[in-house]
Structure 1
Amino acid sequence: MPRRGEVTGQDVADLVGVDRSAVSLVLRNPGTKRVGQATKERILEAVAQLGYVPNSAAAQLREGRSRIALMPFWHASSGSSADQIVDGIADAAERHGFNFLIHGSRRVDDATSRAWASLRPAIFIADGAQLSGEVVGSLQRSGTRAIVSIGPPELPRVFAVDEQIARAGVLAAQHLLHSGADRFVAVVPDILEVSAFTRSRLDGFLSSLPARSTKVVHADMHSMTISQWILSLPRSGPRLGIFADSDRCAIEIMRAALQAGLAVPERISVVGIDGEESGRELHPAITSLVYDAHQFGRDIFAAGLALAQGEEPATPVTDYRIVPRTSS
């Protein structure tokens, strides 16, 4: 048995009776079919028994390529689906033997760009607002083989996932139109200026409605912004269709409306996103756009992996669907 602290991949291979390359292959890609299932199970049991932890840096030096997928800290939304997208990306990265890292900086400047490049990621996934020609150039000079933008802008040599995200706003607008609303409001986080993901949803909503009948309200979820806006609305007037960037935001709107004595859905109709359980339990219950955000995240990583391997990526597809309830 190896001495404590000196366990290597060769120790695992010796214990199982296989070549070291088989150990590396199974740890990089547990789903591989190049190693039999029984052998894979024995390798994983030996890894657990010996407490083996692969040296990622050494493996990258041996292979001459990075196994890092990097994503900057994301301001995307106040809703849970953004977290589920990140979880899906992380899950897919792990399944394909990549180390998934989230860079914690909230700023995007020269120093941040250099920090990203210094990590030598093979795959870089970011909200479109965090990308620029300078950032892209710095990453590509460092050897990054795939850059994926969640939302606009469109940049050369960047794979943008935009149209599918915008569909949420389009579907919300269509539903509110069919519900009989005369005027429309999009309530978005006050982080809009740093979130292309949110911008895509908003653009889809606004582009589906007459410009003269729409308004955008920026909401700080930690202040009285929503309540103050709701209280400013008259109790009678044209039916108002409200698209909230998340169910959490929609719930705050609904609570404020009930306190203000506004009739729902006769005076205001509300549509959120995420299918939050607390929105289903509210009275009136929140009409919500739901989709498999975790799968969307996995598909985003798959597009990045295809690019990194020099293949044509498939466009990640959302399965947005409206779940109508009594708020609209």
Structure 2
Amino acid sequence: MSLVGRPTSKDVAHEAGVSQSTVSLVLGGKWRGRVSPATAHSVRGAAERLGYRPNQAARNLRLGTTRTVLLMVPTLTAPFFGPVYTGAARVAARHGFGVVVSTWPDDAAGPADSPFAAPDEAIDGILASSMAVETLGRFRETPAVMLDSGPAARSGGSVAAAGVPTVDFGVPTVDFGVADGMRAIAGHLTGLGHRRIGHVAAAVDQWTFHARAGALAAAVAALPGGRLTRSTCAIDVTSAKEAAGRLLDGPDRPTALVCDDDLIAAGAYKAARARGLDVPSDLSVTGFDDVLLAIALEPELTTVRLPAEELGAQGMTALLDLLAGGRPAPRVLPGELIVRDSTAAPAAGTG
């Protein structure tokens, strides 16, 4: 048979000598008990000879799905979120889904705006990273999984690290063990002999940063002679340099700075060097996330590695389970303390 353009199911039906409905049953995997094995074999052979591929968009339209997932992240400029997308897209592709990305503003106090005119018709599900469940807004009827957004999405109690009440929204969650990560940093520094610790904290109202702050404060409070000071900043080098400088210029200068993010740590380095302080001889500095910047800094940065790609993969796995009618259990991915050259014992007489 000579065909012009892309072969259709009608062409396959003609080639196999069957009806179009039979082709649809066979290629849709619904032929058993309705079509003989010999006919099914004939249809598949005809489709292969003609190079026929089903129109997935039309099939999805008939099924009432788009096989598209929306990944919502705070920003596309932070290096952390690239691996989150990579992990989600990898799992999605194995199941015939695509992933589109949209940002929501860091200071969103109300529901997030939709990038679609009719969100419920454009996507099948949502992966929402680092945001409060309340900001889902117009997507509240769409199946969703919250990433690195805290137990507030599923808990009817309270989040101890944040100290604020939560509402039970029943949204599945995949979180990082950020509190344990911060406790690991505190244990590392206090093990080196540090007692005066400064926290260069992200001025971002997100669960992950509340959890980090709460864990660090509790760890230092439990330490005999421990003293914690805090200065907040935006997640950028200039703001972090200013915040770290305020701590270093204050009375009883900290011997270690704990930074909420590796980019913030870069600002702390600049603040230290502007004051003639050596890292780590005069001042230890730690970060959080372990993005590529951590090993670009000199000295290389002690930080907590968060498995960002695995967060995306686990989140997509949970969302696919939810779309299939399951009830995904909450998951927590542990971080790993990576000790490099930016931390050392405090100088004699300063600890």
The answer to whether the superposition gives a TM-score over 0.5 is yes
- Of 96-105 and 112-121, deviating more is 112-121
Identity of aligned residues (%): 22
Alignment of 1:1-328 (within 5 A): 2-4=3-5, 6=6, 54-56=55-57, 58-75=58-75, 78=78, 80-104=79-103, 106=105, 108-109=110-111, 112=114, 115=117, 117-119=119-121, 121-127=123-129, 129-132=131-134, 135=137, 138-141=138-141, 144-152=142-150, 153-154=152-153, 155-162=168-175, 164-190=177-203, 192-193=204-205, 195-210=206-221, 213-221=228-236, 224-232=238-246, 233-234=248-249, 237-328=252-343
State the Cα deviation string for residues 128-177 of structure 1 (Å, max 9, x = none). Answer: 53421873xx5354xx3344353133342211334624333232222222
State the Cα deviation string for residues 86-105 of structure 1 (Å, max 9, x = none). Answer: 22112211221112122345
3-state DSSP of counterpart to 1:303: helix
Asked whether the equivalents of residues 147 and 158 of structure 1 are also in contact (C-alpha less than 8 Å), the reply is: yes
Separation in 2, partners of 1:251, 1:13: 65
Separation in 2, partners of 1:230, 1:276: 20
Separation in 1, partners of 2:14, 2:211: 53
3-state DSSP of counterpart to 2:287: strand
Asked whether the equivalents of residues 116 and 122 of structure 2 are also in contact (C-alpha less than 8 Å), the reply is: no
Separation in 2, partners of 1:12, 1:243: 65
Cα pair distance change 1:21/1:282, threshold 3 Å: farther
Rg larger for: 2
**Gapped regions of structure 1 (runs ≥ 5):** 26-41
- Please tell me the residue identity of whatever aligns with 1:283: E
The Cα of 1:327 is off from its aligned counterpart by: 0.8
The Cα of 1:324 is off from its aligned counterpart by: 1.1
3-state DSSP of counterpart to 1:72: strand
Separation in 1, partners of 2:339, 2:332: 22
The Cα of 1:182 is off from its aligned counterpart by: 1.8
- Please tell me the residue identity of whatever aligns with 1:187: V
- Please tell me the residue identity of whatever aligns with 1:164: G
State the Cα deviation string for residues 114-133 of structure 1 (Å, max 9, x = none). Answer: 85743453321213534218
3-state DSSP of counterpart to 1:101: strand
Tell me which residue corresponds to 1:33.
Answer: none
State the Cα deviation string for residues 187-219 of structure 1 (Å, max 9, x = none). Answer: 3444x13x4444444444334332962414213
Cα pair distance change 1:132/1:140, threshold 3 Å: closer
Cα pair distance change 1:298/1:163, threshold 3 Å: closer
Alignment RMSD:
4.1
Separation in 2, partners of 1:244, 1:278: 14
- Please tell me the residue identity of whatever aligns with 1:180: G
TM-score, with normalisation over the residues of structure 2?
0.68
- Of 158-167 and 227-236, deviating more is 227-236
3-state DSSP of counterpart to 1:60: helix
**Gapped regions of structure 2 (runs ≥ 5):** 16-21, 30-43, 154-167, 344-351
State the Cα deviation string for residues 205-237 of structure 1 (Å, max 9, x = none). Answer: 334332962414213526x33333444424994
3-state DSSP of counterpart to 1:168: helix
TM-score, with normalisation over the residues of structure 1?
0.72
- Please tell me the residue identity of whatever aligns with 1:98: F
- Please tell me the residue identity of whatever aligns with 1:148: M
Cα pair distance change 1:284/1:182, threshold 3 Å: same
The Cα of 1:287 is off from its aligned counterpart by: 0.9
